[in-house]
Every structure is written in C-alpha cells, then in structure tokens.
A and B are shown apart, each in its own frame.
Chain A
C-alpha cells in the first residue's frame, strides 16, 4: 500500500506501538494514525522500571519514548486510558470498552504481554506485586525501603533485576526459584552459576529448586467485627511464603516474576491465527491481510534460525515495528536483525545475542572470576549461534556479527584471548 489517505489504527501504546506510529511518519505515511493505549502514560521505556526507575534515579520525562507533545505535533491521534474490547474484521472497526469504535483500513496489534499469574493460595494478598507497567513499578517502589523484606518468586531477569535494585535501596531480598538454577529458561548453566554467586555475595538469599506452596498473610477481621475495616483484596497483607518442603520465608513484600504470557486474547477472539502468540510472517502480517501484529504479543519467524519464536524484548518490538511500517509504506523491508537482550544487575551488564538453537558446544572467553567473560554457543559445525557476555561489550558485538554472518569459528580460537575478535568475526 502506498502512502495515502488510508487510516491506520494501532492498538497498544507500548514500545512496539509507539515505535510503529513514529516509523510510519518517518517513512512518509500521510493517512491518519490512531494510537490506542490502556495506560495513562504515552509510550515509555519499560526496561528502567526494574532498575533506574525503581531506584528513583530516573524522572518521568526520561522514561517516555518521545516527549508527550510529539504525538500531536506528528499528527498521531493518541488515545490513552482506552481499552480495546473487540475487533470486527468485516466492518474493519475496533470496539473500545467505552462503547466507541475506531475505523481502520489497516490495523496494527501491539498488545504486549501480561505477567503470568502465580497460581497458589494467597496470591491475592496485599503487597503481592508483579512488574509490567509504570503503575506496577510505582507500587513496588512505594513498598521498598531499608529493612523491608522482599521475597522474589522467579529467578528470571525481572526477578533478579528487582532483587539487585532492592539491595541498592537497603531492602532485604530472597529469590525463590522452582528450577535448580537461576535464569533457567534464558541463559546457560555457566551464566546461572555466575549470577547465583554474584547475588549471594551481595546478601541476596537464594532458594533454588524451591516450589511455592502458598502465600500467607495477616488475619483479617470478619466484616462487622471489632470495627476494623478489611483492606482491599482477599485477606490482609502478605507476611510469608510457604514452601512445599514446609519451610516458611517471612517477608513484607512479594514480587512475582514467573514469566509473561502473550496478550493475544483480542486476536484469538477475532479469529486470527494464534499459537502461543499472534502468528505473523516476515513483514509482521497476521493471517488477516489488513492486520499486522508486532512485539511481545506475536510469534514471529526468525530467518536466521529457520524457526518461529515468541521474543519478549525491546529490540524485537522495534524491529517488528519497522517491518510493519515499511510494509505499509511500500518500502523495502529492513534487514533481518539478530535477536538480542540485555540486563543490568549491580555493576554487571549482561548482553545476549542470538539463540542457542542447535548449539552443542560452548567456548568461554575471559574469566568469570575476573568479572568479564563471554560464553559462545556453537553448532556442531562451529557456526556461532549465540553469545552471552558479562561486562564484555566487544565480545557481545563481535558475537552478534558472527551470528549475523553465520560464521564458523573454532571454539579454541574463541577461548584464546590472544586471537583478536576483529579477525575471528571478519
């Protein structure tokens, strides 16, 4: 479709939706753009929520992807605090919870992901929090003070970043992980072990291979009793985590970080092909030619690896926003990118490029005890598939290049710091 007077509606004003709107204008889209979001804020950065924002080191303006005035100035109709309730694909309208409808010629779904709920008794207690939005972060921030005991359920990125921030704020922190190691779904065992030692050294309690039986809270007076008003939500405030082995970990706040689920209910209800995310092609088109889907809510093809995956990351959201905007504006597609991720904990920066699909061997460059190292993951034929780098930005960048170029590199050469990365990546 050439740039013209057609109407684009974007549902979801997060990183992906905000970037798509901006890219469309950058690429010369002349039709109307309506960007619909549930939250009160214009599109903002989520990564700082567990780090700088939580530690009160960032201000609200610095969180925004673009200044609030950008949208009106760019003729992007930003509709905040509006929830989409349905899509009528025949009539090409989005029904809003307010009862209004938004008509589209092309629709972009940027619905994001939602925190996976913890399915145990007591999950509804006060001070049991999750972290996806700025409002979530504000609640968590308000609860974290020196001496407060935080229990983190789930040893993934969000859980570990929050534990690190909590320590910086002077709070106590315990991480409870069901698997035998931290970052079990997203990092190699060597990384897991490294981060376990780092968190332990900073006074974070670690309970690995520990299943949560229930969350326990304060007793709540029966309605009408003693004149004490029951707090909102079922039961009182959380006071502890009961483990399946019977032990109880006392706490004042619980952060649940047990993964995210694609927010694809709207698409499924509209009959779009979904399978652990909205299915899209290489241009981020869904099974309906008038509808695109981008970011965390999708399952997307990954040409480098010959498979389709669901990726929860900012770079993925931005890449897909570009794909959709380029397709809509009749531009040539952006070059495929190597998926990558980053996480900051204490003074440690973890950068990961690629996915260890079909990787059967690893090569460690540098020394974990020295605090700077990288783990390269290679296929049987020595093709570099992924790299995990801790305080090793050159290794990260070199690894990303090797992956993009499908380089075969001998693991011994990667281990040998005397061999220049420039040559190995060339």
Chain B
C-alpha cells in the first residue's frame, strides 16, 4: 500500500499507509494525525485539510485547477503558498507512494 508522510507544523513526522482510491486527507484522519481536521468530511467545503505539497511531488499531485472550488477556497485559507492543496482533493494513487506533505501553522 502506498505511504504518505505528514509533517506537522512543529516538525513531527508521521508516515502511514494510505489506501489507493481514498484521499491524502483520509489518510491523516484515519490515523488521527494532528493538523488535518477535515470538518466537512472531504466535500471541499471547509479548507481545514490544507497542506503544502513537497516540491518533489508537485508534478504528480498537480495544483488546483484555476477557478475550481479548491482554488477559490484556498485563496482565502490561512497562510496559502504556491504549493498549497486541500488534501481531500488529492486522490491516492500508487504513483503517490512516498508523498510528503506539510501542515501550515495554525491548523492544529
């Protein structure tokens, strides 16, 4: 099963298995990793699953499509960066095995 490493704002790392077909958000929630609340349960309605995608992985995760719900939500999320994604919108695939994401400040 592919693995994802989640790095908390203060540096604590969690590497867990995330089943293909679920999402990067789901992997964090299922393992009770602090920093991803996912209030809306993956509906792209709340922006509480905001992550920064590690540079090495950006070409595989992609960026939010311009004008998409995700891009609009992120435009007003706290401390957005060019590598920001909502982790509920990153579908888990074999190609993402080894993915590294970081959590922003204040989302804990």
Contacts and interface: CB of A to CB of B under 8 A. Distances in A.
B45 A26 contact: no
Contacts of A342: 40, 43, 45-46
B43 A398 contact: no
B39 interface: yes
A348 B37 CA distance: 24
Residue with the greatest number of chain B CB neighbours at <10 A, chosen from A22, A340, A397, A400:
A397
B69 A47 contact: no
Interface in A189-214: none
B75 A26 contact: no
A314 B76 CA distance: 21
B46 A26 contact: no
Interface string B1-44: 00000000000000000000000000001101010010111010
Contact of A393 (B29, B34, B39, B72): B72
B32 A397 contact: no
A315 B39 contact: yes
A421 B34 CA distance: 31
Contacts of B77: 397
Nearest to A334: B108
Contact of A26 (B32, B39, B40, B43): B32
B73 interface: yes
Given A47-B41, A315-B39, A66 B76 contact: no
A421 B32 contact: no
Nearest to A318: B39
Interface string B39-56: 111010111000000000
Contact of A397 (B39, B41, B43, B76): B76
Contacts of B76: 394, 397-398, 400-401, 421-422, 425
Contacts of A383: none
Interface in A260-297: none
Contacts of B72: 393-394, 397
A33 to B, nearest CB: 12
B41 A70 contact: no
Contacts of B39: 314-315, 318
B85 to A, nearest CB: 15
A74 interface: yes
Contacts of A318: 37, 39
Contact of A314 (B30, B32, B40): B40
A66 B43 contact: no
Interface size class of A (residues with CB under 8 A): 20 to 34
Contacts of A67: 30
Given A314-B40, A342-B43, A351-B45, A393 B73 contact: yes
A70 B30 contact: yes
Nearest to B44: A393
A344 interface: yes
Contacts of A401: 76
A365 B72 CA distance: 16
Residue with the greatest number of chain B CB neighbours at <10 A, chosen from A25, A315, A400, A422:
A315
Contacts of A45: 41
A393 B32 contact: no
A67 B16 CA distance: 14
Interface in A342-395: 342, 344, 349, 351, 393-394
Contacts of A66: 29-30, 32
A370 to B, nearest CB: 14
Interface in A110-129: none
Given A351-B45, A394-B75, 20 more contacts: A26-B32, A26-B34, A47-B41, A48-B41, A65-B41, A66-B30, A314-B41, A318-B37, A318-B39, A342-B45, A349-B69, A393-B45, A393-B73, A394-B73, A397-B47, A397-B73, A397-B76, A398-B76, A401-B76, A425-B76
17 contacts: A26-B32, A47-B43, A48-B41, A65-B29, A314-B40, A315-B46, A318-B37, A318-B39, A340-B46, A342-B46, A344-B43, A351-B45, A397-B47, A397-B72, A397-B75, A398-B76, A422-B76
- A-B interface, 7 closest residue pairs, ranked by CB to CB distance from nearest: A397-B76, A393-B72, A394-B72, A342-B45, A45-B41, A393-B73, A315-B39
